[in-house]
Amino acid sequence: MKDYSNYSLLKHNTFGMDVKAKRYVEYNSEEELQQLILTLEGDVLHIGGGSNLLFKDDYAGTVLHSAILGIELTDENEDEVLVRVGAGVVWDDFVAWAVARGYGGVENLSLIPGEVGASAVQNIGAYGAEAKDVIALVEAVDLQSGEKRCFGVAECDYAYRQSIFKKGLRGKYAITYVTYRLQKHPVLKLEYGNIKAMLADKANVTIADVRQAIIDIRNAKLPDPKVQGNAGSFFMNPVVSHEKFLSLQKDYPQMPFYEVEGGVKIPAGWMIEQCGWKGKSLGRAGVHDKQALVLVNLGGATSEEIITLCNTICCDVKEKFGIDIHPEVNLV
Ligand code: EPU
């Protein structure tokens, strides 16, 4: 176990904010976590890879990080495997592991930054796939009592970028293991965006090809946090009523949209671009020039600069489209 006081979080947030935690603890097992819980005082923040966070200031409590590792095949039948993965495993290492063995279900989620624990909190999603589609079981420890609890996927209450761990049970549990259900005879998901077009000249497309296509798309569109601080999509895509959508479509017939449960999802990146923000900046906070949903630290930006840019964009989108957009990134 690593246990530090006054610890710099610079390497633990992809926005590159140089803030400190009063205490920072990294644990290697459920038992270590349970011991550690007895010593916790004040506020507690559990982080993963820090790829969906914006620290506004130093953190005056304890920051916890899981280093529970391991990928283990726990069950299988003709069609499926169950794979139990430690919350601290880097998400894309798990995807690479699955793809190398021919197990399908997570290849569309290639190269998403962050760790396995966060995949179950955020219900990460990309290119027509979501974590909830492959999660079978989530193991977690109550951060108050230290008791262990297992959540079946239905109990996790998953929706677009939502789960019980972000709502009713926010901050109450630390996820320790996630068990995924993967397919031995993968059914490829090629419908989103230009994936099919990118693979058009391949004869027998495999999940490894899909993974490579998605890596190429992401690398072309999304900034590398090692080069330019960012936290991926800064905003969630809003879902509007059919009525609102139809009235907008009259004014913007070229507007992209996706029919979803409860309404129509409008890409916030498109609206931000229409407002003229793509590639623009305010101070040292910028809007990525290839994907307007992503805010970037142009170098030395303060959290205030990022938040000012965020608020200005929200106001402009509201004024032009009459739609409220909200950050996906957690402001701490
Ligand atoms: N668009 C624009 N301009 C932009 C950005 C997007 O016109 O600057 C348009 C695109 O042309 C397309 C539509 O908006 O018609 C959707 O764009 P894209 O496929 O890039 O996806 P997104 O809705 O902007 C979401 C996820 C991403 C994920 C992609 C692909 C959210 C908040 N974001 O973005 O996730 O990679 O779909 O599935 O849902 C992340 O969460 O950090 C993330 C990168």
Q: Count Cα atoms within 13 angstroms, Cβ side, for 248.
A: 23
DSSP type of residue 219:
H
Over residues 146-192, the pLDDT tens digits come to 999 999 999 999 999 999 999 999 999 999 999 999 999 999 999 99
The amino acid sitting at 316 is: D
Confidence of residue 225 (pLDDT cuts 50, 70, 90): very high
Question: Is 328 considered catalytic here?
Answer: yes
By three-state DSSP, how is residue 238 classified?
Answer: coil
CB 19 within 8 A of CB 300: no
CB 67 within 8 A of CB 3: no
CB 55 within 8 A of CB 47: no
pLDDT (0 to 100) of residue 213: 97
Token representation of residue 324: 């409220």
CA distance 300 to 306: 11
Q: Rounded to whole angstroms, what are the CA distances from 199 to 107, 187, 206? A: 14, 15, 10
Atom 7 of ligand 1: nearest residue by CA position: 270
Give the CA dihedral 205, 207, 211, 212, nearest 10 degrees: -40
Atom 20 of ligand 1: nearest residue by CA position: 291
Over residues 92-128, the pLDDT tens digits come to 999 999 999 999 999 999 999 999 999 999 999 999 9
Over residues 259-283, the pLDDT tens digits come to 998 999 999 999 999 999 999 999 9
User: Which segments of 11-140 does DSSP mark as H helices, in order?
Assistant: 30-37, 91-100, 116-122
CB 321 within 8 A of CB 248: yes
CB 2 within 8 A of CB 21: no
- Mean pLDDT, residues 209-221: 96
Mutate to test the pocket of ligand 1, among 233, 257, 274, 275 (most ligand atoms within 8 A of CB): 233
The amino acid sitting at 101 is: R
Mean pLDDT value across the chain = 97
Over residues 318-329, the pLDDT tens digits come to 999 999 999 999
CB 235 within 8 A of CB 270: no
Q: Measured in Å, how far apart are the chain's first and last C-alpha atoms?
A: 24
- Mean pLDDT, residues 310-315: 98
Over residues 45-90, the pLDDT tens digits come to 999 999 999 999 999 999 999 999 999 999 999 999 999 999 999 9
pLDDT (0 to 100) of residue 185: 98
Token representation of residue 210: 């899909």
Among residues 166, 207, 204, 168, the alpha carbon closest in space to that of 187 is found at: 207
- Judged against a pLDDT cut of 90, whether residue 296 lies above it is answered with yes
Question: Is 5 considered catalytic here?
Answer: no
By three-state DSSP, how is residue 198 classified?
Answer: helix
CA distance 115 to 91: 5
Confidence of residue 193 (pLDDT cuts 50, 70, 90): confident
Token representation of residue 59: 């953190």
52 close to ligand 1 (CB < 6 Angstrom): no
Say which residues have a Cβ less than 8 Å from residue 134's Cβ, sequence separation at least 6.
105, 106, 180, 181, 182
Question: Is 170 considered catalytic here?
Answer: no
Query: 119, 233, 303, 305: which one is catalytic?
Result: 233
